[in-house]
Amino acid sequence: MPSPAFFPHTTKYRYANALFLAKCAQLAYQPPEAIHTQMMKWGIPHVAFFDRQGTQAFVLGHDDFIVVAFRGTEPRSLKDWMTDKQIIRKRGPYGKVHRGFLKSVNTVWNDIQNAIMSFQDKGQSLWFTGHSLGAALATLAVAKMGEDAKPVHGLYTFGQPRVGGKTFARNFNLDFKAQTFRFVNNSDIVTRVPRRVLGYRDVGQVLYFDSAGMLHDDVHWWNQFLDRIKGHVDDLGKVGTDGLKDHSMVKYVKNLKHKDNRSFLVSS
């Protein structure tokens, strides 16, 4: 088993899984050489890298589990994904989804499926993760797996923008809400776009870090966040705002490592 520990046979929230997948999401920003070096340190024998038309991801293969991690993007670049042309929803898995996100995941999807089939020689469990844009692509990838009736043990996302409309969210949650954990760090503005007024909806179970880095999953804390954030896509270009500082993957990993979050249990 690699270090840090990982529990491959559960669909319930586990701290060790959250931390490991967060590190994978962070690692996705690194060049292949750095990722491969880390896999060797973790004792993971197989890793495949993909870069197609700017969409980047890696798939790691362990004897007990497989992880697909999508690379994210800088907030300024993410703003390009929130233009009127991109946010128009088109038919996708489980319903209508963000046009730009769907196009991006489709560029690497065949490669990722082939890597999963190549590594999944012992019935290993399958996991997806990503930060920012990578989180949106990971969510769409899980939806594509679901439409093909293929099992996914867990989806852990960090700073995820919304992916689809009401029908998508309903259908996705019917299959995957129980094993989908969507981390939101305090005032992270990226988690509020595209806006609900445009028909977009959230999926999964929200796990919210407050301003002190403490983790919550109850409605009270989530409602406080909604009341505090009046996010607009234009804010994505304003470097230095709290909403962008809180979007950093470094902060997500730091908060997860907080000693009081190690024993956190999802209440549902």
pLDDT in tens, the chain (268 residues): 445 689 999 999 999 999 999 999 999 999 999 999 999 999 999 999 999 999 999 999 999 999 999 999 876 677 788 787 788 999 999 999 999 999 999 999 999 999 999 999 999 999 999 999 999 999 999 999 999 999 999 999 999 999 999 999 999 999 999 999 999 998 888 998 998 899 999 999 999 998 889 999 875 666 656 555 544 444 555 545 566 788 999 999 999 999 999 999 887 6
**H/E element holding 53?**
none
Q: Exposed, middle or buried, 63 (CB in 10 Å: 0-12/13-18/19+)?
A: middle
Q: Please give the structure tokens belonging to residue 244.
A: 């962008």
Question: Cis (ω within 30 of 0) for the bond into 4?
Answer: yes
CA nearest to 69, candidates 108, 97, 40, 95: 108
Calpha distance 206→216 (Å, rounded): 9
Residue-wise pLDDT tens digits, 15-53: 999 999 999 999 999 999 999 999 999 999 999 999 999
8 A C-beta contact, residue 97 and residue 136 = no
- Angstrom distances, CA of residue 40 to CA of 2, 36, 44, 120, 258: 10, 6, 6, 19, 26
Residue-wise pLDDT tens digits, 177-193: 999 999 999 888 899 89
SS3 content of the chain, % helix, strand, coil (to 5): 45, 20, 35
